[in-house]
């Protein structure tokens, strides 16, 4: 028997490969789907079915691609939408794979047609339920995808799906959702990689509201922003994306890269220190592990993308872009910034400072007013502000909202960008720099560092 | 947060690496312990504690070795025995690793001092219990290790440990035992890699006996054999085995190999077809994936071991031998049997036949009597015979009991050795060949094949 | 600077990746060309040119495919033929890659338009010459590809190319040919992986004939057979083969495999012992490392291919088939022969025996005559017979000629098939079995084993 | 036949594994010698002999270690010294490995007892000569190791060794030295990875002086500095270093790391941009690929070493330290500088600037005099200055001489450190920072960038 969770890092996307004897089933595959083909094959199993828990909106599904490679049947949830390929799964429908059985459970709420899939083990006992974006560890699915106006209705459906159809499976059943901690599909997803119906029933903060109205009210209170790229993903996933092959790396000499900059979007995936020290003028910073979460907010689909890395190995970054629907990757900077500088090309920099320095500055300047007073821009989420506290006098705009709200950031003073660690700060700072801000500084260590030093500010 | 199960294939041994922030804990490490060091380190975590669930008897524990590499503290269960290293864990004792907490729960029964360890997640909730050899998926631990006479008493302790201390943790808690399906520590272990307290409470056949007496009676009814190597393992594990480095592969030319055969034990880890077709005279067959289960029954500790493989890559086999306490590995046959034959060295063979051929022979000879009648030796377990049925007129001796009971096997007729697939048959056949039997044949496909063909025998 | 030889095992095909600064050139790429893309990219180099030494006949060239992945220009030799893509290289033409320079040298003889390429190092000195199939280590190219009748003329051209254009480069220049020992393109290629103009001038047996007539006469004396698949390769290489992606592994359950056998070609790539012990009835044996040399002689292009391996990892085998132009691979037998037998499917076997047994039989039967006398079929090459000697009374048909000359092999007696080791014997034996021969046996160890035992046959 | 060059990057150290049939020989192994054991074994070859070309001074030889793992015999050159292990090779001595033969050729000059080893191929022809540190591609060995006073005498011996014993082997013979481009053992080693006697005779600039006196004069003219660590290496190599196992990675939390800083040496192996942006106060910068060349000049043997990397994967760095004889590695900073800052620990920074900025400053300040004028410190080699030109008014001290000559660097002005790319500049700058210099800046891109921009300075 084969039971594999495949984690797509960054996305915190989970897909599953389940098999027995000579057959296997994949739940919610990603586009770069060779991992399923190879693992199943190395177990001597042929993938016969692909099951989707819902029409995905946060990444490109690999169902059509995987079907074309293996001959497997695709079964869609959300059959209210018009798919160009595959079949519509129905509540109660069953599939066999070797001695295992899988049964569809209609669990609307995240979308109207969301399905969960209950896996029974060779002995026939309910063992694992794949809950898609309906129920996560410590969180439930977002309810705004059918439109903000429909959110209350969807919240009600979600309540029924969870309390009447999932919790009733029994505390002992394992819960395997489509996302883990770090996903945009649920900000408060808990870190436990493995969970159960009982753990969720007892400890999921959303489910502590056992009353319908309280449950709905709690959900409506804290709704996340809708990323602009969801629309693109939804469209692709109805059409069925195909992949000729993984994108080739395409090294570009510094001169060639420089010549292409004007018509392209430069994405620098190095960390905050390197980027701060020197970057291609006009580059947008998004460090590699943050790409899955943030490219959809910052990187346009229309322009070719030029990637800057530390090394000559951009493949993982290209793969992440692919999963987010970016298929126009022009290449990467061969030799990195070292090569850039050795070719005599000019670079820009963004100042970085430690929390100790910030503390000293605040101590001196906190009570100053006017154009030369210090300005702090905190790009963390509301949730983080609530949980981890704030720095004095900081302006708060979440990192994903900077592009839409940049006008609120002053241009005439040094802006000290602040987040949890310094990584998201550099995203925001580089965006502001691209849009003409001149005096920017990123605070290294962010709130984690700040709390450690216990800065005291004299009156 | 880091939560990793490390599976030692063949042994079906599970160990666990759990960590958070800059610290990690290992539960029941194996001797070749670089896997823990490397994974923890790649997460930036230092291993600070090593917890044992019991004094292991079926493999060499890596606690002493891992402690010497990392500086971690070793905490033993079974402190009734005299360890040369480490400290004694106590019921209720707690350890912190980052934001996680682990608590010892005394769960005697498999051994008197067995400990389970309850892991609480960063929010403090009971999440996973490491149950060692006390509770498996679909099975419980064996109770004969303190002596056959003490088995009833141990069974009673096990009852209390499981029903009063483990099941009371709640159906929702995940259960992480020290072994999975295929281990000698529990013949009927279920295939589900992940399980929960609730799944065991509801479906573990042992736990369906909720009454103490019924539970004990059921356990005493089916006690597995005690492998001869347990004594060696127990001794090593009290002393604390160390490992200078993994054994080097040591290729031997066919001539050098041939010269060493006389004073060594030749272990051939190829599959049944290759071995049957040609093998070094005097070699014992144990196919690679069966090594962990069977070397302890067949391979002596006193002699240097010579290994025959198909390729020049014996490292995994050497590693399995190491885990079973064999540290005198003389080398492997460079170039495999092809090189052996090309050097003009002679080989032996054991006949193989298909189930179709067996069926035809049985049809012809079933009712013959006397010295020229067909003799079938079935080396499967009682459990398999019960579950999968039998072939007509077969003698039954479990593969592990062949060395002790070979006198019961006739020498004057062709012995057709039979198991589930042909693999274990070749172990038995090669053992008999080494001990002078001349007419041996192995049935390919075994009971799996036999059942598929629906052989009908005319009267 | 980057200088890489890429070896395609089995084919003994050598291609080369040469680069400097941000650019690279590939000489004679193979179809599965991701190796060039990835290595060049990891050095930060873009592949700008692809140079062919000749229109290849023994494998599918990857020039068109690599060009479509990288945008590189393809430069063909043999511009007398009508290529559907790429440009025609001219004698004396030069290319730059970083600080390196490459110059084309027209060296006809193997084909009319064969080119060698001289690489100059950053200091401008003649450093390496890529000689394609014109000059190998210890051998020269075959001269029969333009037709047997043109062989004398081609031999003369080859003489000029080697003596006037290559040897004159100087003894110190490194020679990098398109093949190494084991290729069908030159039976006597020496084992030295690295060689020089001087080493060839002094030691290549062909070049010891410094006189034109002697050189030609020597070449005409020993002309190898033309494999039937050359025609297919030549056609593909003028058209420019493309590759969507590497073939997926496609596991087939034993039942599915069995159902497809009738309309497919079953290719068993296991070694001689496994195949002899049991194989799918009707399967053709070609052990994996022998595939590149022998599939073209035995495997038809028209039928879907079913592959039998020991494990569930057929990818390397599929890759070899691809390089030889086979793109209709139906799948592989999941679970190997163990799974086959466990599914109750029947198998065939071919007897194997040791050289000791052969010796005893010859001793007994050598001077027998008539239908029950022993018949030995030696499938080695003329060259091997000359060099390594013969067994008494053997019939000699080279392994590649068995399909065309099988009628010469007696059907009424046991045929003992003999080669250098037993591997090629099983190719021939399985072919005969497929064509109705009943009594076949393969001699393990072949001539290597035979010579080691010094068999004496009494009169 | 097996012929493998094993490259230890950074060191630009070449060792060789040569084998045939069931035996293999290693020339000049490194200390972390599992690579030889594994490759030989995967070919079915046992390492029987280890040959040293000379007593190495620039890395720790692995002969004693490899011998203890394989049972191979060690044969030393330089038997004038007192080895604690192994045997003394003699001029003309021969060894067999399979069908290959190796012969010792006494070639003094680099050391008095240096040996070259001539390898004959299976046909007996002189094929490859292993020249150790006597003859490199484009360079010859240094002659100062027996003392500066003995250099003229050694130069004479070297002349004889090369002209009388090596060049006489014939132009066609391949030359395999112990180092390639980038080694401290020969500054001007050419980039060609493969070379021949003829290529060296015709193009090696040292060998263009065919007259003894001219050859010696040329050598004496340009003698490299003797690194301080050579003494340590020489001692270790006479004793025979052993290795229990590769050093474990040892992650340290930022707090633990910070607590250990005072008594340790902090080595930061990140690149110039990261280091410049933020580093642990007191850290010495040596980027990873520069470690082999520079740790011996900057890192003391007495103190425990703490390593700062970008990631949690310090193993390669630890391996390089090991090869240079550093066995007291206290650990690495878990989580890198991101973790450091998030723990609220303070960091230092060194300014970086582009060549464009340098140009503008020079334009403004070149003709200023006195304490506020710009000061450029160029740390490139004499050779580079000669070849690539200079920047105006720069002070020149080679990077390896900074520790001994730092007093010459002004403390009262901003020092702009300059090299070929910016990497070595950061080594020098961080050293000065550790020694109290306050105003330091590193020029990104160095001379490569400088030449590209064609800076014009107004008068």
SS3 readout for C184-213: CCCCCCCCCCCEEHHHHHHHCHHHHCCCHH
Q: Which of C41, C252, C339 sits opposite A251 (nearest CB)?
A: C41
What is the rounded average pLDDT of the residues B45-67?
96
Taking the C-alpha atoms of residue D133 and residue D141, their distance in angstroms, rounded to an integer, is 5
* Mean pLDDT, chain B, whole residue set: 94
| The pair of three-digit structure tokens given for residue D458, joined into one six-digit string | 């107004």
Contact B22 D334 (CB under 8 A): yes
Question: Please, which pLDDT band fits residue A7 given cuts at 50, 70 and 90?
Answer: very high
C-alpha–C-alpha distance, residues C142 and A79, integer Å: 64
Question: Is residue A99 less than 8 Å (CB to CB) from chain C?
Answer: no
- Pairing state of beta strands D195-196 and D265-268? unpaired
pLDDT at residue A12 is higher than 90: no
Question: What confidence category does residue C101 fall into, taking pLDDT thresholds of 50, 70 and 90?
Answer: very high
Chain C contact present for A96, CB below 8 A = no
What's the start-to-end Cα distance of chain D, in Å? 67
- Between A219-228, B130-139, D37-46, the lowest mean confidence (pLDDT) is in A219-228
What average pLDDT does this structure show over B110-127?
Answer: 95
**Which residue spans within B223-316 are E strands per DSSP?**
251-252, 265-268, 284-285, 305-308
Alpha helices in D161-304 (DSSP H): 197-203, 212-221, 230-239, 254-260, 272-277, 291-298
Q: CA D456, CA D454: separation in Å to the nearest integer?
A: 6
On the question of pLDDT at C318 being above 90, the answer is yes
Confidence of residue C4 (pLDDT cuts 50, 70, 90): very high
Does A393 lie at the interface with C, CB-CB under 8 angstroms?
A: no
pLDDT at A459 over 70: no
Decide if B191 and A122 are in contact by the 8 Å CB cutoff: yes
Per-residue pLDDT, C62:
96
A419 is catalytic: yes
How far is the C-alpha of B215 from the C-alpha of C120, rounded, in Å? 83
What per-residue confidence (pLDDT) applies to C182?
Answer: 77
Q: Contact partners of B by the rule of 3+ C-beta pairs under 8 A?
A: A, C, D
Tell me the chain B residues in contact with residue C349 when contact means C-beta distances shorter than 8 Å. Answer: 352
Q: Which two tokens stand for residue A60?
A: 């490109």
Percent of chain D with pLDDT over 70: 98
What pLDDT is attached to residue D366? Answer: 64
pTM of the model: 0.95
- Residue B211 contacts A where some CB pair is shorter than 8 Å: no
- B155 with B145: CB under 8 angstroms? no
**Given a cut of 80, is residue D365 above it in pLDDT?**
no
The predicted pLDDT at position A370 comes to 64
A311-316: which pairs have CB atoms within 8 A and are 24 or more residues apart? A311/A336, A312/A249, A312/A251, A312/A336, A312/C41, A312/C42, A312/C43, A312/C44, A313/A249, A313/C42, A314/A249, A315/A246, A315/A249, A316/A288
Give yes or no for a contact between B102 and B176, defined as CB atoms under 8 angstroms apart: no
* Non-local CB neighbours of C89 within 8 Å, separated by 6+ positions: C51, C52, C75, C76, C77, C79, C104, C115
- Band (A374; pLDDT cuts 50, 70, 90): confident
pLDDT at C369: 64
Strand partners, A120: A101, A126
pLDDT, position C371: 62
Q: Which residues pair with D4 in a beta bridge?
A: D17
Note the pLDDT tens digit of each residue in A301-349. Answer: 999 999 999 989 999 999 999 999 999 999 999 999 999 999 999 999 9
SS3 B420: coil
Helix, strand, coil content of chain B in percent (nearest 5): 35, 25, 40
The confidence score (pLDDT) of residue A367 equals: 61
What is the rounded distance in angstroms from the CA atom of residue B329 to the CA atom of residue B264?
Answer: 9
Select from D167, D173, D88, D92 the least CA-distant residue to D134: D167
Give mean pLDDT, residues C379-399: 93
Instruction: Kindly state the average pLDDT of the residues D134-159.
Output: 95
Of residues D171 and C181, more confidently modeled? D171
Confidence grade of residue A104 (pLDDT, cut at 50, 70, 90): very high
Instruction: Assess whether pLDDT exceeds 90 at residue D182.
Output: no
Short-list C301, C333, C298, CA closest to C314: C333
Measure the CA–CA gap between A99 and A124, rounded to whole angstroms.
9
- φ and ψ at B15, to 5 degrees? -120, 170
Q: What are D348's strand-pairing partners?
A: D279
Q: Is the dihedral of CA C46, C49, C52, C53 positive or negative?
A: negative
Q: Which tokens go with B250?
A: 């040591």
The mean pLDDT of B240-264, rounded to a whole number, is: 93
* Model confidence at B225: pLDDT above 90: no
- Is A198's CB within 8 Å of B123's CB? no
Q: How far is CA B9 from CA A432, B129, B182, B183, B293, in A?
A: 53, 22, 9, 10, 10
Q: What does the block give as tokens for A198?
A: 């009982």
Whether residue B329 lies within 8 A of chain D, CB to CB, comes out as no
Round the average pLDDT of chain C to a whole number and report it.
94
Query: Rounded CA gap, B397 and D42, in Å?
Result: 39
Closest partner residue to D191 (CB to CB) among C122, C192, C201 is: C122
Contacts of A399 (CB under 8 A, 6+ apart): A294, A297, A379, A380, A419, A424, A427, A428
Of the pLDDT bands very low, low, confident and very high (cuts 50, 70, 90), residue C3 is very high
Residue A243's pLDDT is 86
Is D448 in CB contact (< 8 Å) with chain C? Answer: no
Q: Give percent of chain B with pLDDT exceeding 70.
A: 98
pLDDT of residue B284: 98
- Cross-strand partners of B118: B103, B129
Q: Are strands D115-120 and D126-132 parallel, antiparallel or unpaired?
A: antiparallel
Cα–Cα distances in angstroms (integers) from residue D206 to residues D137, D203, D212, D286, in the given order? 10, 9, 11, 31
Quick one: tokens of B273?
A: 């077809």
Q: What is the pLDDT of residues C104-161, one digit of tens each?
A: 999 999 999 999 999 999 888 999 999 999 999 999 999 998 889 999 999 999 999 9
| CB contact (8 A) between residue C312 and residue A44 | yes
Please check whether residue C339 touches A, CB under 8 A.
yes
Q: Per-residue pLDDT for B247 more than 90? A: no
Model confidence at C10, pLDDT cuts 50, 70, 90, reads confident
Cβ(B135)–Cβ(B166) below 8 Å:
yes
**Residue C134's pLDDT is what?**
97
Q: Is the pLDDT of residue B371 over 70?
A: no
- Tokens read off for D329: 């590695």
C-chain residues within 8 Å CB-CB of B446?
A: 341-342
- Residue C257: pLDDT over 70: yes
pLDDT at B314: 95
What per-residue string of b and e applies to C419-452 under the rule 16 or more CB within 10 Å gives b? Answer: bbbbbbbbbbbbbbbbeebebbbbbbbbbbbbbb
As a whole number of angstroms, the distance between CA D202 and CA D206 comes to 10
pLDDT attached to residue A388: 93
Chains touching C, CB cut-off 8 Å, 3+ pairs? A, B, D
**In this model, does residue A72 exceed pLDDT 90?**
yes
Q: Is D215 helix (H, G, I), strand (E, B) or coil?
A: helix
Q: What is the mean pLDDT of chain A?
A: 94
The confidence band for B367, taking pLDDT boundaries of 50, 70 and 90, is low
Closest Cβ–Cβ partner in D278, D343, D448 for A273: D278
pLDDT tier for residue D181 given thresholds of 50, 70 and 90: confident
pLDDT at D369 > cutoff 70: no
Interface contact flag, D338 A421, Cβ < 8 Å: yes
Q: b/e for D242-272, b at 16 or more Cβ within 10 A? A: ebeeebbbbbbbbebbbeebeebbbbbbbbb
DSSP code, position B246: P
Nearest to A186 by CA among A243, A143, A216: A143
Kindly tell me if the per-residue pLDDT of B231 is higher than 70.
yes
pLDDT tens-digit series, residues D247-295: 899 999 999 999 999 999 999 999 999 999 999 999 999 999 999 999 9
Q: What average pLDDT does the segment D415-441 reach?
A: 97
**Predicted pLDDT at A100:** 96
Which chains sit next to A, with 3 or more Cβ pairs under 8 A? B, C, D
The token duo for A312 is 């000559």
Chain A positions in Cβ-Cβ contact with residue C335 (cut-off 8 Å) = 22, 44
Per-residue pLDDT band at B77 (split at 50, 70, 90): very high
Which of B192, B198, B204 has the alpha carbon at shortest distance from B174? Answer: B198
Residue C459: predicted pLDDT: 60
A146-184 confidence digits (pLDDT tens): 889 999 999 999 999 999 999 999 999 999 999 998 777
Q: Tell whether C422 is within 8 A of chain B (Cβ).
A: yes
Average pLDDT for B349-355: 97
Identify the band that residue D186 occupies on the pLDDT scale cut at 50, 70 and 90.
Answer: confident
Look at D62 and A188; give whichever has higher pLDDT. Answer: D62
Cβ proximity of A69 and A33 under 8 Å = yes
Set of chain C residues whose Cβ sits within 8 Å of the Cβ of D191: 1, 121-122
Mutation pick from A254, A269, A278 vs chain D, by most beta carbons of D within 10 Å, is A278
Q: Is D253 helix (H, G, I), strand (E, B) or coil?
A: coil
Predicted local confidence at residue D104, as pLDDT: 98
A334 to chain C, closest Cα gap in Å: 4
* Tokens, residue C217: 């006469």
Give the CA-trace dihedral at D35, D37, D38, D43, to 10 degrees: 120
């Amino acid at each position: 028997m084969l039971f594999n969770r495949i984690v797509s890092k960054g996305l915190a996307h989970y897909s599953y490969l389940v098999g027995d004897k000579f057959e296997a089933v994949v739940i919610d595959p990603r586009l770069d789907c060779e991992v399923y083909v190879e693992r199943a094959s190395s177990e001597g199993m042929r993938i016969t079915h692909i099951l989707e828990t819902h029409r995905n909106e946060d990444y490109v599904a690999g169902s059509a691609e995987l079907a074309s490679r293996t001959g497997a049947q695709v079964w869609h949830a959300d059959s209210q939408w018009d798919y160009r390929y595959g079949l519509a799964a129905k509540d109660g429908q069953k599939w066999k794979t070797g001695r295992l059985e899988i049964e569809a459970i209609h669990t609307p709420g995240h979308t109207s047609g969301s399905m969960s899939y209950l896996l029974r083990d060779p002995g026939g006992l309910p063992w694992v339920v794949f809950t898609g974006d309906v129920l996560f560890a410590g969180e439930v699915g977002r309810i705004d995808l059918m439109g903000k106006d429909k959110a209350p209705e969807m919240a009600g459906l979600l309540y029924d799906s969870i309390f009447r159809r999932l919790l009733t499976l029994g505390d002992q059943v394992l819960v395997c959702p489509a996302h883990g901690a770090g996903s945009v599909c649920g900000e408060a997803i808990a870190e436990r990689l493995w969970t159960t119906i009982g753990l969720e029933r007892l400890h999921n903060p959303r489910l502590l509201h056992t009353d319908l109205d309280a449950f709905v009210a709690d959900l409506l209170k804290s709704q996340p922003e809708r990323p602009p790229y969801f629309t693109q993903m939804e469209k692709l996933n109805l059409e069925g994306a195909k992949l000729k092959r993984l994108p080739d790396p395409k090294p570009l000499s510094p001169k060639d890269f420089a010549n292409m900059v004007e018509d392209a979007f430069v994405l620098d995936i190095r960390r905050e220190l390197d980027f701060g020290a020197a970057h291609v003028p006009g580059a947008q910073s998004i460090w590699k592990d943050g790409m899955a979460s943030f490219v959809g907010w910052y990187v346009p689909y229309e322009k070719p993308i030029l990637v800057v890395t530390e090394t000559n190995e951009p493949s993982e970054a290209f793969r992440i872009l692919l999963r987010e629907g970016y298929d126009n990757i022009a290449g990467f900077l061969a030799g990195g910034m070292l090569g850039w500088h050795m070719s005599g090309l000019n670079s820009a920099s963004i100042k970085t400072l430690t929390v100790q320095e910030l503390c000293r500055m605040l101590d001196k300047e906190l009570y100053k007013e006017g154009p030369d007073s210090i300005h702090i821009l905190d790009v963390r989420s509301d949730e983080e502000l609530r949980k981890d506290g704030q720095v004095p006098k900081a302006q708060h705009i979440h990192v994903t909202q900077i592009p839409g709200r940049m006008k609120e950031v002053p241009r005439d003073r040094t802006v000290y960008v602040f987040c949890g660690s310094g990584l998201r700060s550099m995203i925001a700072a580089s965006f502001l720099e691209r849009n003409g801000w001149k005096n920017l500084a990123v605070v290294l260590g962010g709130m984690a560092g700040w709390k450690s030093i216990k800065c005291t500010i004299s009156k």
